[in-house]
């Protein structure tokens, strides 16, 4: 892969846009086998990157939810504490 191809987008929206473009290209069926494989590999790389971005976002949301408005992490109430 060239340097440009191995550079990953910085936003989730860019990941999705590039994946959409790759999908459109693959669906045409007018590509050589080599080009199709390159696009598939790039799509897999983007998919992993996008999943990582979503996981990180979920962790941030979970942390913010636990912190609540006060900024202090809340813990579930258990009787006897």
CA distance 16 to 25: 14
Token reading at 31: 């590509």
Classify residue 80: in a domain, yes or no. no
Looking at residue 47, which CATH number applies to its domain? 1.10.287
Look over the chain and give the mean of its residue pLDDT values, rounded to a whole number: 86
Classify residue 74: in a domain, yes or no. no
Classify residue 2: in a domain, yes or no. no
Which structural domain range is residue 24 located in? 10-66
CA distance 18 to 47: 10
Percent of the chain past pLDDT 70, that is, above it, reads 78
Classify residue 1: in a domain, yes or no. no
Classify residue 75: in a domain, yes or no. no
Domain count, the chain: 1
pLDDT confidence band for 2 (50 / 70 / 90)? very low
Token reading at 45: 């790389």
Classify residue 79: in a domain, yes or no. no
pLDDT value at residue 69: 67
Question: 27-62 pLDDT, tens per residue?
Answer: 998 999 999 999 999 999 999 999 999 999 999 888
Q: Is the pLDDT of residue 71 over 70?
A: no
């Amino acid at each position: 892969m060239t340097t440009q191809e191995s550079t990953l987008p910085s936003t989730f929206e860019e990941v999705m846009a590039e994946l959409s473009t790759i999908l459109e290209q693959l669906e045409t069926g007018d590509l050589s086998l080599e080009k199709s494989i390159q696009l598939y590999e790039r799509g897999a790389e983007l998919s992993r990157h996008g999943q990582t971005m979503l996981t990180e976002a979920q962790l941030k949301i979970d942390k913010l939810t636990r912190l609540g408005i006060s900024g202090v992490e809340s813990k579930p109430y258990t009787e006897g504490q």
